[in-house]
C-alpha cells in the first residue's frame, strides 16, 4: 500500500525534497499558528473586557446598551 | 412638508440624541439650538440625507427621503460650516460653477447682481483666497439670492459676517419664508428673522421639542 | 417586514449567532483533522510518482487546495460584504472581516507553494503569467481589504468601505480561474474534470481530501475569529456581559 | 445627463489651469523618472531599448498615482464634495466627470510627452507610435481605477499608502498589457491583442468605476 | 505699551487703511471694528509682525517691533481665524504641543484643567477631527486659560461658540486685563468684557480713531 | 536652543505615527519602484548589479520628493505655521527640527530598507554596506535641500515646477555621489572620496537650508 521504501527516500522526495518540504512546512506552520494566535488574542480580549466591566462597575456610569439590531 | 419621527443620532460610541420628532410646513422656520457638540450639524446632515440616522425616519411631502433620492435633493439647499468655495476661483466663477453643478440656470448678470447684493462689488474678479473671512462667507451665501428651492438647511450662516451682512442674510431668509419656503437654521447669535411661524428645537441632554 | 425575514434577521444577529458558532467550532476542527490526515496519507504515502514531474508533483496536494480556498473564501467574503451593504445586517460585516485574514493566508500559500513548485518545474520562481499575476492581485486585494478596514475607526463605515472594495475585486476571481483558458500560459490547465479525469484516481482523491480539510479548517478559523470580533464590537451590550459571565462560571 | 459631467469637467480644468503647477509637477515627475534611468543605467542602446517600455509605463503609472490623493481630497476639505453629493444628478455621473478631467490633466499630457521621451531610449518610429497609442488607451483606465482608491481612502487615517496599496494591484494588468504592447512591437509579434485588452480595461475602468467610487464617497461623507 | 503711528495697509492694489495710529496701555482693551474686508485681520497680523506695513511703525514698550524680534514674540499671543490645531491629535496633545512650541511650561494636569474649563471634559482623548466646529474652537481657546503673556491679539475668538462659551472666553479676557494685560480683539458679535478702559477703533473708508 | 527643535521633532513624529500610512507610503513607494524594475528588465544578475545603485538612489530620491509637498503645507493650511512663526525661537531652528523629523520619517526608514531590497539585485555584502552608508549620509541632504523647495512652493504662487527645477539640480550631485559610491565599490575603486563629498553636502544641506527656508516661509505668510 505505502509507496515509499525508506524514510530517507520519503524525505528526499526524489531530488525535490527542499521544494516539497519547504511548501509543506510553511503551510503547516501557518495553519497551526493561526488558530493558536486567535485563541490567545481571544483570551487577552476577554481579560481586557472583564477589567473594563469591573472599572465601570466601580465608578458606576456607562450603563450597558440594550441590544438593538 | 418635512417631518421626522423618532430620529436617533449615534457618533462613535456617543448617542447625541434619540426619539427626536418634529414637523415643519411651508413658510415655517425651525431654529435648532443647543450647546457646542450637541448634534446640530449632525442633525442637519441627516436632514440632507448625507448621514443615515441610527434609527427613525425623515419624510418630505410624506415620503421617506431615502426613497425620493434625487427628487429630494433637487428641492433642498444646504450650507454647511465649510464654505464650499474654491480659493483659486473668483467669487463670480464660484457662484456660476455652484449653480451649474446644482443644475440651476444662472446667468452672469444674475450672479453679478447677487454678488453685489452681498456687498462684494469690486471683488468679483479677485481670487477668493485674497478675500477676508467674512467676504468668503458672503460668497457662499450669495447662492441664496437666486435660490428658489423650497427647503433651506443652513448651518450657522451668520458666522464671520458683520452686522450689515447679518441683516441682509436674515432678510434673504425672511423673503424665502414669505414665498412659502421652509428653513432650518442653527446659530449661536441672536438674529431676528421675519417669519410667520418660528419653531424652536433645543438639542440637549434632556431633549425638548416643540 | 414579513415574519420570515424577521426570523432570519434574528438568527443573523450576533447575539444568536455567537453561542451557535461556539458549539460548531469543535466539529469543524474534528472534520478538518480527519480529512487532513486522510488527504496527507493518500497524497504523501500512497500516491505513486508522476511520470513527468517526479516526486516534486506532490506539492499539488498543498498548492491546489490553497489556491482553491483563496478564491473560494474571497467569493464568500464578497457575498457577506454585499449582503451587509444591501441589508445592513450587523453580522455580515463581521463575517467578511473574519474571513479576510484566512483568505489572505491561503492566497499567500498558493503563491508560496506555486513558486516552490515552479523552480523545479519551470526553472523559475516567478513569471508574469496571467494566472500567477491575478493570484498575486488576489493577495493584494485581501491585504488592501484588511488595511482599509483597520484604517477606519468606525466599524460601520469600515464595513461599508470594505464591502465596496470586496465587490469591486470580485472580477478578479473569474480571471484567475479562466486565465489558463483565455491565455496560453506556462501554468497548467484545469485537470480536475469529473467526466474524465486525466489524473490518476488516487491523486485526485488525495487532492480532494486535502481541499476538504482546508475548507473545514477555514470554517473553524473563521468562526473563531468572528466570535472574537463580535465580543470586541459589541462589548457595550448586555449580552456580551452575560455571555462572558456565563463562560466564566 | 451630459451637462453635469461637462460642468464638472469645466470646473476641474479651470481649477487645474489656475494652479498650473499641479499639472506641471505630474509631467515633471514623469520626465524625471524617465530621464534619470538612462543616466543611472548607462548609454548602451540595446539595453536601453529593452528597458524602455517598462520604464515609460512604470513612470506613467507612478505619475498618475501621485496625483490621485488630491482627486477628491480638496473638495472634501472645503465642503464642495458635500455640495456635489447633494446635487440632483447621480453622484456617479459627477465622478465620471472628475475622472475625465483627471485624465485630461494627467493622462493626456503624459501621453503627448511620451514619444519625445521615448527618443532617449533609441526606440524606433513604430515602437514610439505603439507606445503613444498604448498610453492613450491605457491612461484612462488608470484614472478610472484610481478614482475608486481615492474615494475609498478619503478621510481615512493615513490614506497615502492605502491608495497605493488598493490601487496598485489593479494597475498591474494595465501595466502588463501596456508595456507588453510595446514589447511585442519590439520583438515583432504585433501589439494588436495587447491593445484590445487595454481598451477593454479602459472602458471598464472609466465607465464602471464611477459607481463604486460614488458609493465610497457617500460613505466618506457620513 | 503698544503704539502705532501712521500705519498703512496695502493689499494687492487696494489701500485698506492709512495714517492709522493708536496707543494701548496695560489693562486696556482695544476693539477693532469694521465691516467685512475692512482690514481687521490684516491689522492684527501687522501687530504680530507677520505682515510688514506699507508705511508707518509699530512700537512695543517704545521700541519698533521689527527690532525687538524674538523678544516681542515672546510677549504676544495671537489667535487667528484658523484654529491652528491638528485634526489627528487629541485636544490634550494639541494643547501640550502648542505650549511646547511656544516655549511655555505646561504640565498635563494644567492642560486637562484648561480643557475642562472650556467644557471639553470627556473629549480629551478624541481626535480633534471628530469634534464639532465649536468644540474645535474651544480647543484653540483653551490656550488662553494658562496664558500669561501680556499682549493678546485675538481675531474673532467667539466665532462658532455657544453662549456659555462666549461668556467664559469673555471672562478669560477680562481676567487677563485685570492682571494688567493688553488685548486687541475683533468680533462682529456684541460681547460684554469687563475691562478698565475699552478703546474702539473703527476701520472704514473714513477712518475714525479714538 | 535645543528644546524648540526637540518639541518640533516630537510633534512631527507623533503626527507621523498618528497617520502611520504616510511613512508607510513613502516606504511602499520605494519598494515598488525598486521592485518593479528588476521585473521589467529581466533577471540577468550582471545587468541587475549594474542597474542597482542607480535604481535604488533614484527611488530614494523620488520617495523623498514625494513627501516634500506636505512638509509645510498642512501647517500652513490650519494656521499652525503662523503660530510657529510667532514662537519666540528663530524660525530657522524650528525648520531645522522639521527637517530632522522629516529625515527620521522618510530618509531613515528608506536607508534601513535599502539593503534588503538590494539583495534582489544580487549585490555583494560590501556593496550593500556602502549602499546603506551612502544613503545614511545622503538622505539628510535630500531632506534639507527639499525643505527649501517646500518652503518656496508655499510662497511662490502657481510655480511648483520652478521649485522642482530649482531643487532637482541640487539633488543631482547627491544622486551622483551616492550612486557613485556604490558604483565605485562594485568596480573596486573605493567609495571614500564619494562618501566624504556626500557628507559635506549633507552637512551643508541640513544646517544651511533651514535659514533660506525660514525666510521663504515668512514671505509665504505675509
Ligand atoms: C506562484 C505560482 C503559482 C500560482 C499563483 C498558481 C495559482 C494557481 C491557482 C489559483 C490554481 C487554482 C485554479 C484552478 O483550479 O483552475 C492553481 C491550480 C493548479 N496549479 Fe498552480 N500556481 C502557481 C504555480 C504552479 C506551478 C509551478 C505548477 C506546476 C508546474 C502549478 C500547477 C497547478 C496545477 C496542476 C493546478 C490544478 C489545476 C486543476 O487541476 O484544476 N501551479 N494554481
Ligand atoms: N467618533 C466619535 N466618538 C465620540 N464622539 C464623537 C465622535 N464623532 C463625533 N462625536 C461627537 O459628536 C458631536 C458632533 O456634534 P455636531 O458637530 O453635530 O455638533 P454641533 O451641534 O453642530 O456643534 P457646534 O455648535 O459646535 O457646531 C460632538 O460632540 C463630537 O464630540
Ligand atoms: N491681492 C489683493 N488685491 C485686492 N484686494 C485684496 C488683495 N488681498 C486682499 N485684499 C483685500 O484686503 C482685505 C483683507 O481684509 P481682512 O482680511 O484684513 O479683513 P477683515 O477686516 O479681517 O474682514 P472680516 O471681518 O471679514 O474677517 C479684503 O477686503 C480683501 O478683499
Ligand atoms: Mg455644528
Ligand atoms: Mg478677519
Contact D162 C148 (CB under 8 A): yes
Residue D207 has a pLDDT of 92
Best residue for ligand 2 mutational test, from B8, B17, B38, B44 (most atoms within 8 Å of Cβ): B38
Contact C148 D166 (CB under 8 A): yes
Contact E70 F83 (CB under 8 A): no
**Mutation target among C93, C101, C236 for the A interface, most CBs of A within 10 A:** C236
Q: pLDDT band for position C188 (50/70/90)? A: confident
Contact D18 B88 (CB under 8 A): yes
Mean pLDDT for C54-65 is 87
Chains in contact with B via at least 3 Cβ–Cβ pairs below 8 Å: C, D, E
| Residues of B in Cβ contact (< 8 Å) with D94 | 101
Domain boundary among E103, E123, E148: E148
Q: Which residue does chain F place closest to D49, by CA atoms? A: F41
Residue C192 has a pLDDT of 58
φ/ψ (deg, to 5) at B85: -115, 155
Residue D137 has a pLDDT of 94
Report DSSP state, residue D103: I
Among C55-64, D29-38, E79-88, which stretch is predicted with the lowest mean pLDDT? D29-38
Tell me: pLDDT of B120 over 60: yes
Tell me: pLDDT of B173 over 60: yes
Express each pLDDT in C149-181 by its tens digit.
Answer: 888 878 888 999 999 999 999 988 988 888 877
Which residues of E have a CB under 8 Å from any CB of B? Answer: 11-12, 34-38, 40-41, 81, 119, 123, 126, 130-135, 137-138, 156, 159-166, 188-189
Tell me: pLDDT of C213 over 90: yes
Among B39-43, C165-169, C187-191, C216-220, which stretch is predicted with the lowest mean pLDDT? C187-191
Q: Which residue does chain B place closest to C233, by CA atoms? A: B13
Ligand nearest, relative to CA of residue B80: 4
Q: Please check whether residues E12 and E56 belong to one and the same domain.
A: yes
Smallest CA separation from ligand 2 atom 25, residue: B36
Residue C184 has a pLDDT of 65
Contact map slice: B 5-34 vs C, CB within 8 A: 12-13
DSSP-assigned letters across all residues of A1-68: ----S-HHHHHHTTTTHHHHHHHHHHHHHHHHHHHHHHHHHHHHHHHHHHHHHHHHHHHT-SPPBP--
Tell me: pLDDT of C142 over 60: yes
User: Structure pTM?
Assistant: 0.84
Mean pLDDT for D163-191 is 83
Mean pLDDT for C132-154 is 88
The parent domain of residue E104 ranges over 87-148
Mean of the per-residue pLDDT values of chain D: 86
Contact F39 C128 (CB under 8 A): yes
Ranges in chain A, pLDDT < 70:
1, 59-69
* pLDDT by position in tens, chain E (length 210): 899 999 999 888 888 888 898 999 999 999 999 999 899 999 999 999 888 899 999 999 999 998 888 889 889 999 999 988 988 889 999 999 888 888 888 889 999 999 999 989 888 888 898 899 999 999 999 999 998 999 999 999 999 999 999 999 999 999 999 999 999 999 998 888 887 788 888 887 544 333
Chains in contact with E via at least 3 Cβ–Cβ pairs below 8 Å: B, F
Tell me: pLDDT of C198 over 90: no
User: Is the Cβ atom of E110 under 6 angstroms away from ligand 3?
Assistant: no
Q: pLDDT band for position D217 (50/70/90)? A: very high
Q: Please check whether residues B11 and B71 belong to one and the same domain.
A: yes
Residue C193 has a pLDDT of 52
Q: Quick one: which of E38, E136, D12 has its CA closest to F78? A: E136
- Indicate which atom in ligand 2 lies nearest the CA of residue B81: 27
Give the bridge partners for F180, in sequence order.
none
Q: pLDDT band for position C247 (50/70/90)? A: confident
Chains in contact with D via at least 3 Cβ–Cβ pairs below 8 Å: B, C, F
Measured CA to CA, the distance from residue D28 to residue D22 in angstroms comes to 10
Asked if residue D222 lies in contact with residue B51, where contact means CB atoms within 8 angstroms, the answer is yes
Torsion sign (Cα): F2, F8, F14, F17? negative
Q: Quick one: which of C64, C62, C28, C17 has its CA closest to C221? A: C28
| Residues of B in Cβ contact (< 8 Å) with D155 | none
Residue F171 has a pLDDT of 85
Mean of the per-residue pLDDT values of chain B: 89
Q: E11 or C65, which is more confident?
A: C65
Report the gap between the CA of F3 and the closest CA in chain E (Å). Answer: 8
Q: Do chains A and D touch (3 or more CB pairs under 8 A)?
A: no
Smallest CA separation from ligand 3 atom 29, residue: E37
CB count, 10 Å around CB of D36?
24
Q: pLDDT band for position D222 (50/70/90)? A: confident
Q: pLDDT band for position C81 (50/70/90)? A: very high
Measured CA to CA, the distance from residue F142 to residue E119 in angstroms comes to 45
Q: D59 or B154, which is more confident?
A: B154
Tell me: pLDDT of C141 over 50: yes
Provide residues with CB under 6 Å of ligand 1: C 60, 63-64, 67-68, 110-111, 114-115, 117-118, 121-122, 131-132, 135, 176-177, 187-188, 190-192
Tell me: pLDDT of B209 over 50: no
* D32 in contact with C, Cβ within 8 Å: no
Q: Please check whether residues E70 and E103 belong to one and the same domain.
A: no
Measured CA to CA, the distance from residue C47 to residue C202 in angstroms comes to 6
Q: pLDDT band for position D211 (50/70/90)? A: very high
Contact A64 C237 (CB under 8 A): yes
What is the domain partition of chain C in residue ranges?
A: 41-231
Domain boundary among E148, E170, E189: E148
Residue C201 has a pLDDT of 81
Q: How many domains does chain F have?
A: 1
| Residues of B in Cβ contact (< 8 Å) with C236 | 13
* B207 in contact with D, Cβ within 8 Å: no
Residue F44 has a pLDDT of 66
Distance E168 CA to ligand 5 centre (A): 22
Tell me: pLDDT of D45 over 60: yes
Measured CA to CA, the distance from residue A11 to residue A4 in angstroms comes to 10
Three-state SS for B120? coil
Residue F164 has a pLDDT of 62
Among C83-87, D90-94, E150-154, F34-38, which stretch is predicted with the lowest mean pLDDT? F34-38
Residue C2 has a pLDDT of 40
- Indicate which atom in ligand 1 lies nearest the CA of residue C189: 38
Mean pLDDT for D112-134 is 89
Three-state SS for E103? coil
Express each pLDDT in B31-45 by its tens digit.
Answer: 999 999 999 999 999
* pLDDT by position in tens, chain F (length 222): 678 788 889 888 888 887 766 677 778 778 877 876 666 555 566 777 777 888 888 888 888 877 777 788 888 888 889 888 888 888 999 999 999 999 999 899 999 999 888 877 778 888 889 899 999 999 999 999 989 888 887 755 544 455 566 677 788 888 888 888 888 887 877 778 889 999 999 999 898 999 999 988 888 888
Q: How far apart are the first and last CA of chain B?
A: 16
Distance B40 CA to ligand 4 centre (A): 5
Chains in contact with A via at least 3 Cβ–Cβ pairs below 8 Å: C
Contact B13 C154 (CB under 8 A): no
CATH number of the domain enclosing E190:
3.40.50.300
User: Is the Cβ atom of B189 under 6 angstroms away from ligand 2?
Assistant: no
Q: Please check whether residues E101 and E56 belong to one and the same domain.
A: no
Among B124-133, D153-162, E115-124, which stretch is predicted with the lowest mean pLDDT? D153-162
- What angle separates helix D210-221 from helix C155-169, to the nearest 10 degrees? 180
Measured CA to CA, the distance from residue D221 to residue D87 in angstroms comes to 14
Residue E82 included in any domain: no
Q: pLDDT band for position C4 (50/70/90)? A: very low
ipTM associated with this complex: 0.82
Report the gap between the CA of C59 and the closest CA in chain A (Å). Answer: 6
| Residues of E in Cβ contact (< 8 Å) with F83 | 78, 84, 98, 101-102
Ligand nearest, relative to CA of residue E189: 3
Residue C58: which of A13, A45, A50 has the nearest Cβ? A13
Q: How many domains does chain B have?
A: 2
- Indicate which atom in ligand 3 lies nearest the CA of residue B123: 31
Q: Which residue does chain C place closest to B54, by CA atoms? A: C156
| Residues of D in Cβ contact (< 8 Å) with F153 | 21
Q: Please check whether residues E51 and E137 belong to one and the same domain.
A: no
Ligand nearest, relative to CA of residue E134: 2
Contact B101 D7 (CB under 8 A): yes
What is the domain partition of chain A in residue ranges?
A: 33-61
Q: Do chains D and C touch (3 or more CB pairs under 8 A)?
A: yes
Q: Please check whether residues B2 and B42 belong to one and the same domain.
A: yes
Report the gap between the CA of B192 and the closest CA in chain D (Å). Answer: 27
Amino acid at each position: 500500500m505505502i509507496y515509499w521504501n525508506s524514510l530517507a527516500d520519503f524525505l528526499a522526495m526524489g531530488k525535490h525534497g527542499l521544494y516539497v518540504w519547504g511548501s509543506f512546512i510553511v503551510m503547516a506552520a501557518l495553519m497551526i499558528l493561526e488558530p493558536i494566535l486567535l485563541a490567545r488574542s481571544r483570551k487577552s480580549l476577554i481579560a481586557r473586557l472583564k477589567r473594563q466591566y469591573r472599572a465601570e462597575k466601580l465608578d458606576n456610569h456607562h450603563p450597558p446598551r440594550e441590544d438593538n439590531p | 412638508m418635512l417631518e421626522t419621527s423618532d430620529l436617533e443620532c449615534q457618533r462613535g460610541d456617543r448617542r447625541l440624541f434619540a426619539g427626536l420628532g418634529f414637523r415643519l410646513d411651508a413658510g415655517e422656520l425651525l431654529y435648532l439650538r443647543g450647546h457646542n457638540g450637541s448634534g446640530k450639524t449632525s442633525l442637519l446632515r441627516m436632514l440632507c440625507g448625507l448621514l443615515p440616522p441610527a434609527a427613525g425616519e425623515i419624510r418630505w411631502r410624506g415620503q421617506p427621503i431615502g426613497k425620493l433620492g434625487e427628487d429630494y435633493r433637487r428641492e433642498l439647499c444646504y450650507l454647511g460650516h465649510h464654505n464650499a468655495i474654491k480659493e483659486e476661483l473668483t467669487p463670480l466663477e464660484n457662484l456660476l460653477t455652484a449653480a451649474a453643478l446644482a443644475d440651476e440656470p444662472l446667468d452672469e448678470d444674475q450672479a453679478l447682481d447677487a454678488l453685489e447684493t452681498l456687498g462684494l462689488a469690486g471683488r468679483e474678479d479677485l481670487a477668493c483666497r485674497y478675500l477676508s473671512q467674512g467676504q468668503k462667507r458672503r460668497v457662499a451665501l450669495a447662492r441664496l439670492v437666486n435660490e428658489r428651492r423650497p427647503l433651506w438647511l443652513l448651518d450657522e450662516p451668520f458666522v464671520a459676517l458683520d452686522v450689515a451682512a447679518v441683516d441682509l442674510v436674515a432678510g434673504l431668509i425672511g423673503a424665502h419664508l414669505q414665498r412659502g419656503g421652509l428653513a432650518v437654521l442653527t446659530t449661536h447669535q441672536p438674529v431676528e428673522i421675519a417669519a410667520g411661524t418660528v419653531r424652536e428645537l433645543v438639542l440637549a441632554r434632556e431633549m425638548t421639542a416643540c | 417586514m414579513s415574519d420570515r425575514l424577521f426570523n432570519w434577521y434574528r438568527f443573523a444577529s450576533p447575539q444568536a449567532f455567537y453561542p451557535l458558532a461556539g458549539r460548531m467550532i469543535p466539529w469543524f476542527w474534528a472534520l478538518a483533522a480527519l480529512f487532513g490526515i486522510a488527504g496527507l496519507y493518500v497524497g504523501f504515502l500512497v500516491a505513486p510518482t508522476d511520470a513527468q514531474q517526479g516526486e516534486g508533483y506532490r506539492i499539488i496536494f498543498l498548492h491546489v487546495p490553497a489556491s482553491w480556498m483563496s478564491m473560494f473564501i474571497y467569493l464568500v467574503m464578497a457575498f457577506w460584504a454585499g449582503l451587509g451593504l444591501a441589508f445592513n445586517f450587523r453580522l455580515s460585516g463581521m463575517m467578511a472581516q473574519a474571513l479576510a485574514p484566512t483568505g489572505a493566508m491561503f492566497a499567500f500559500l498558493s503563491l508560496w507553494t506555486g513558486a516552490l513548485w515552479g523552480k523545479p518545474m519551470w526553472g523559475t520562481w516567478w513569471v508574469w503569467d496571467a494566472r500567477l499575476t491575478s493570484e498575486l492581485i488576489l493577495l493584494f486585494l485581501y491585504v488592501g481589504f484588511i488595511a482599509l478596514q483597520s484604517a477606519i475607526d468606525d466599524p460601520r463605515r469600515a464595513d461599508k468601505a470594505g464591502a465596496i472594495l470586496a465587490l469591486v475585486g470580485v472580477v478578479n476571481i473569474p480571471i484567475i480561474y479562466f486565465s489558463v483558458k483565455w491565455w496560453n500560459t506556462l501554468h497548467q490547465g484545469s485537470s480536475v474534470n469529473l467526466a474524465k479525469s486525466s489524473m490518476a484516481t488516487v491523486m485526485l482523491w488525495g487532492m480532494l481530501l486535502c481541499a476538504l480539510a482546508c475548507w473545514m479548517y477555514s470554517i473553524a478559523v473563521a468562526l473563531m475569529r468572528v466570535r472574537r470580533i463580535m465580543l470586541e464590537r459589541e462589548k457595550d451590550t448586555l449580552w456580551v456581559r452575560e455571555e462572558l459571565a456565563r463562560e466564566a462560571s | 445627463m451630459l451637462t453635469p459631467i461637462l460642468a464638472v469637467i469645466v470646473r476641474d480644468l479651470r481649477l487645474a489651469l489656475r494652479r498650473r503647477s499641479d499639472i506641471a509637477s505630474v509631467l515633471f515627475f514623469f520626465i524625471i523618472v524617465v530621464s534619470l534611468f538612462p543616466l543611472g543605467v548607462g548609454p548602451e542602446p540595446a539595453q536601453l531599448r529593452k528597458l524602455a517600455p517598462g520604464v515609460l509605463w512604470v513612470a506613467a503609472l507612478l505619475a498618475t498615482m501621485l496625483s490621485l490623493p488630491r482627486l477628491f481630497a480638496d473638495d472634501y476639505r472645503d465642503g464642495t464634495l458635500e455640495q456635489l453629493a447633494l446635487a440632483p444628478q447621480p453622484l456617479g455621473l459627477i465622478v465620471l466627470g472628475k475622472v475625465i478631467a483627471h485624465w485630461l490633466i494627467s493622462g493626456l499630457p503624459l501621453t503627448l510627452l511620451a514619444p519625445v521621451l521615448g527618443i532617449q531610449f533609441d526606440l524606433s518610429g513604430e515602437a514610439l507610435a505603439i507606445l503613444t497609442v498604448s498610453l492613450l488607451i491605457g491612461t484612462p483606465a488608470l484614472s478610472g481605477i484610481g478614482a475608486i482608491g481615492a474615494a475609498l481612502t478619503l478621510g481615512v487615517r493615513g490614506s497615502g499608502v492605502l491608495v497605493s496599496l488598493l490601487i496598485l494591484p489593479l494597475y498591474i494588468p494595465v501595466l502588463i498589457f501596456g508595456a507588453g504592447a510595446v514589447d511585442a512591437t519590439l520583438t515583432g509579434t504585433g501589439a494588436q491583442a495587447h491593445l484590445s485588452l487595454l481598451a477593454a480595461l479602459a472602458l471598464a475602468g472609466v465607465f464602471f468605476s464611477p459607481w463604486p467610487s460614488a458609493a465610497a464617497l457617500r460613505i466618506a461623507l457620513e
